């Protein structure tokens, strides 16, 4: 099996829809990694860079004992002439500019602070040509090369999840995006809609099984509303590190503001439908991405929040002791 080409992804028969999510649609319903050997372990070693077909996608394999997976689906710039633009009126084509560089800054900072390199999955194709954060049906792809790139991207996330499950048992997948909304804050997506997040804590406490962090909720002594906007919610930890976020203790509800609640990859590869890998979509504002120096600072701040999150919710103290 050649790693640079397609690795077969197992598809489930049941699909679910995400409500009120501008970046997602349908997703696989089962745990697509557990108990399935989908990759060549002699090639997927720490530091390996493995490409999909035509080098449109890639995975940078992290440390085998890293519990963290990062991905960047919408910052690609490659526009091959043979792949037609996605012209369906429902096809979003806006680029999440600098999201990939921010992803690498987060990874660099995590490695510096913990000694562990996260697994990183990157799409290099322009969103005009391919969108890997929608179901294949809703990605509106008409060319075989685009379809193959979509499959390669999903395969790489599936493999990263399997590596984490095999070596750690559980972990966290962060899907990195950028938004242009009016409020300069990170939108933390758990698959809960804006209306759901605007609910009372009592109502939110009944929504754990609908979220992409259901595995965390099942093992936590905290109420689910606390996991979403309490002292140790990821949004709160981000805000504590000078990255304002919603939902958080500081900013608990989107109210009437624009908000992305998580897309196809968060739905497919999180723990809503089972498994031990939880997923969160991070929609970052321009104030976290606009310049190289800002991305460097933001990468460190987001990494600090993630390290704190892993300590509280996974009982993993990843920070180096020096």
State pLDDT tens for residues 131-146: 999 999 999 999 999 9
Report how many domains make up the chain.
1
> Does 6 have pLDDT greater than 70?
no
Residue 103 has pLDDT above 70, yes or no: yes
CB atoms within 10 A of CB 322: 3
| 172 has a pLDDT exceeding 70 | yes
Partners of 280 in the β-ladder: 174
Predicted confidence (pLDDT) at residue 80 exceeds the cutoff of 60:
yes
Residue 320 included in any domain: no
Range of the domain at 110: 15-314
pLDDT of residue 3: 40
Between these two residues, 15 and 68, which has the higher pLDDT value? 68
Q: Is residue 2 assigned to a domain?
A: no
Answer whether residue 28 is part of any domain.
yes
Segment 84-105 mean pLDDT: 97
Q: Is the pLDDT of residue 21 over 70?
A: no
Between CA 125 and CA 81 the distance in angstroms is: 12
* 285, 221 Cβ separation under 8 angstroms: no
Span 151-172, mean pLDDT? 97
User: Directed axis angle between helix 99-114 and helix 292-314, to 10°?
Assistant: 50
Q: Compute the distance between CA of residue 282 and CA of residue 31 in angstroms, rounded to an integer.
A: 22
Is 14 in contact with 273 (CB distance < 8 Å)?
no
Q: What mean pLDDT do residues 200-221 have?
A: 98
In the predicted model, what is the mean pLDDT of the chain?
A: 90
Strands 245-246 and 57-60, by their bridges, are unpaired
Kindly state the helix (H) or strand (E) to which residue 16 belongs, with its residue range: strand 15-17
Per-residue pLDDT for 303 more than 60? Answer: yes
pLDDT at residue 11 greater than cutoff 80: no
Q: What is the pLDDT of residue 320?
A: 83
Residue 1 lies in a domain: no
Provide the CA 196 distance to its chain's centre, in angstroms: 21
Residue 8 lies in a domain: no
Mean pLDDT is lowest, of 12-21, 67-76, 133-142, 310-319, for: 12-21
> What is residue 30's predicted lDDT score, i.e. its pLDDT?
36
- Over residues 24-69, the pLDDT tens digits come to 444 443 333 333 457 899 999 999 999 999 999 999 999 999 999 9
**With bands split at pLDDT 50, 70 and 90, how would you rate the model's confidence at 23?**
very low
Q: What is the mean pLDDT of residues 282-294?
A: 97
Give percent of the chain above pLDDT 70.
88
**Does any domain span residue 52?**
yes
* 78 lies in some domain: yes
Segment 235-256 mean pLDDT: 98
Taking residues 255-274, report their average pLDDT. 97
Q: Is 206 exposed, middle or buried (0-12, 13-18, 19+ CB in 10 A)?
A: exposed
Q: Find out whether 294 and 97 touch, Cβ atoms under 8 Å.
A: no
Q: Is residue 96 assigned to a domain?
A: yes
Q: Is the dihedral of CA 22, 57, 288, 278 positive or negative?
A: positive
pLDDT of residue 157: 98
User: Is pLDDT larger for residue 1 or for residue 93?
Assistant: 93
pLDDT over 80 (residue 179): yes
Q: What is the model's pLDDT at position 37?
A: 57
Q: What is the CATH number of the domain that holds 22?
A: 3.40.630
């Amino acid at each position: 099996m050649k790693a640079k080409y397609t690795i077969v992804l197992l598809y489930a028969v049941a699909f679910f829809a995400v409500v009120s999510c501008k970046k997602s649609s349908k997703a696989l319903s089962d745990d697509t990694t557990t108990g399935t050997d989908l990759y060549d372990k002699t090639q997927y070693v720490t530091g390996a860079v493995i490409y999909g077909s035509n080098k449109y996608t890639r995975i940078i394999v992290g440390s085998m004992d890293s519990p963290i997976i990062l991905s960047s689906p919408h910052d690609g710039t490659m526009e091959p002439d043979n792949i037609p633009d996605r012209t369906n009126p429902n096809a979003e084509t806006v680029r999440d500019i600098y999201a990939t560089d921010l992803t690498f800054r987060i990874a660099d900072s995590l490695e510096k602070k913990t000694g562990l390199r996260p697994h990183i999955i990157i799409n290099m194709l322009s969103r005009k040509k391919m969108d890997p954060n929608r179901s294949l049906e809703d990605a509106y792809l008409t060319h075989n090369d685009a379809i193959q790139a979509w499959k390669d991207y999903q395969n790489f996330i599936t493999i990263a999840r399997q590596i984490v499950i095999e070596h750690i048992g559980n972990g966290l997948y962060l899907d990195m995006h950028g938004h242009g909304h009016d409020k300069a804050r990170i939108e933390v997506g758990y698959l809960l809609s804006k209306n759901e997040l605007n609910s009372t804590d009592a109502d939110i406490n009944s929504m754990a099984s609908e979220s992409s962090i259901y595995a965390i909720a099942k093992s936590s002594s905290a109420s689910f509303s606390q996991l979403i906007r309490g002292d140790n919610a990821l949004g709160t930890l981000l805000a504590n590190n000078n990255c304002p976020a919603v939902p958080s203790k500081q900013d608990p509800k989107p109210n009437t503001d624009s908000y992305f609640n998580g897309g196809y990859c968060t739905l497919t590869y999180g723990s809503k439908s089972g498994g031990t890998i939880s997923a969160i979509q991070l929609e970052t504002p321009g104030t976290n991405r606009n310049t190289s120096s800002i991305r460097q600072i933001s990468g460190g701040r987001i990494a600090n929040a993630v390290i704190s999150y892993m300590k509280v919710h996974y009982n993993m103290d990843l920070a180096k002791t020096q």
